[in-house]
Amino acid sequence: MIVYNLTIKVSWGILDNWLPWELQEHIPAVMGTGSFDDYKFYRLLDEDETEGPTFVLQYFTSSLERYEQYVIEHASRHRQEGLDKWGDGFIAFRTLMILYEPGSQLQ
């Protein structure tokens, strides 16, 4: 299992508009690419929220090839849509992980 992990710090000034957009527009658009099988959306606890809350969004896919196809065909457009809409009201960083379960082969 490949996990595309986004950690997003959102300013208080855009939160009330950003959150519905994220849940109703952005996540469905990413899922609509067919590159991912599922996702989870979290709000981090025990974080300094002076500048705003932090969220973690994890998209799950069955192969590195499907993730790479997303990056090639869709990722830059989705990133640009967020920047165009919210400007510097958020900051995001991305990581790619592989889920190891008992019996998994190391890759």
Evaluate if residue 105 carries a pLDDT over 70.
no
The predicted-structure confidence for 62-96, as pLDDT tens digits, reads as follows: 999 999 999 999 999 999 999 999 999 999 999 99
Is residue 62 in some structural domain? Answer: no
Q: What string of DSSP letters covers 3-63?
A: EEEEEEEE-HHHHHHHHHHIIIIIHHHHHTTSS-SEEEEEE-SSS--SS--EEEEEEEES-
| Residue with more model confidence, 48 or 74 | 74
Any idea what the CATH number is for the domain that residue 80 is in? 3.30.70
Is residue 16 in some structural domain? Answer: yes
What is the domain range of residue 91?
Answer: 2-55+67-98
Is residue 60 in some structural domain? Answer: no
Mean pLDDT computed over 93-100: 93
Number of domains in the chain: 1
pLDDT at 100: 83
Is residue 106 in some structural domain? Answer: no
pLDDT at 104: 67
Is residue 78 in some structural domain? Answer: yes
Evaluate if residue 23 carries a pLDDT over 70.
yes
Is residue 61 in some structural domain? Answer: no
Is residue 8 in some structural domain? Answer: yes
User: Which pTM was predicted?
Assistant: 0.91
Read off the amino acid at residue 107. Q
Is residue 17 in some structural domain? Answer: yes
Evaluate if residue 107 carries a pLDDT over 80.
no
Cα 61 to the chain's mean position, in Å?
13
